[in-house]
């Protein structure tokens, strides 16, 4: 058994091996894409730091990547699409 610490990843609590690096955590999470950004306690990390930066108890990590988007938030987008595809939109305007 390894010593375990508590961290938060993308808002979710998670146990992590003490002494693990950001790079190790990413591999553990099966995040292999190069196009991710990692924010550690609000500090954006350079990709080169991933394998050197150790994670400490209570750390808060955000792991982000690119998704489909034009403008606006995804919630609004999804609602909008529902309206567009259901045809109510045309009726609203027409």
Partner 1 sequence: MDTNDRLTIAGREFKSRLWVGTGKYKDFIETKKAIEASGADVVTVAVRRVNITDRSKENLLDYLDPKKYVILPNTAGCYTVEDAVRYARLARAAGVSDLVKLEVLGDDKTLFPDTAGLIEAAKILIKEGFIVLPYTNDDPVVAKKLVDIGCPAVMPLAAPIGSGLGIRNPYNLKIIMEQVKVPIIVDAGVGTASDAALAMEYGADAVLMNTAIAGAQDPIAMAEAMKYAVHAGRLAYKAGRIPRKLYATASSPIEGML
Residues in contact with partner 1 by the rule CB under 8 A: 9-12, 29-31, 33-39, 44-47, 62-74, 76-78, 80-81, 84-85, 89, 93
CA angle 57, 37, 11 (to 5 degrees): 45
| Closer residue to partner 1 in complex, CB, 1/10 | 10
Tokens encoding 93:
């305007």
Q: Counting every residue, how long is the chain?
A: 94
Least distance (Å) from partner 1 to the CB of residue 13? 12
Least distance (Å) from partner 1 to the CB of residue 3? 22
Q: Which residues contact 48 (CB under 8 A, 6 or more apart)?
A: none
């Amino acid at each position: 058994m390894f010593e375990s610490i508590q961290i938060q990843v993308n808002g979710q609590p998670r146990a992590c091996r003490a002494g693990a690096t950001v790079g190790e955590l990413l591999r553990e999470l099966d995040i292999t894409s190069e196009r991710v950004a990692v924010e550690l306690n609000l500090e954006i990390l350079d990709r080169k730091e991933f394998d050197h930066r150790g994670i400490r108890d209570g750390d808060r990590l955000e792991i982000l990547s690119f998704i489909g988007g034009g403008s606006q938030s995804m919630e609004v987008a999804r609602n909008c699409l529902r309206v567009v595809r259901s045809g109510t939109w045309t009726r609203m305007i027409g």
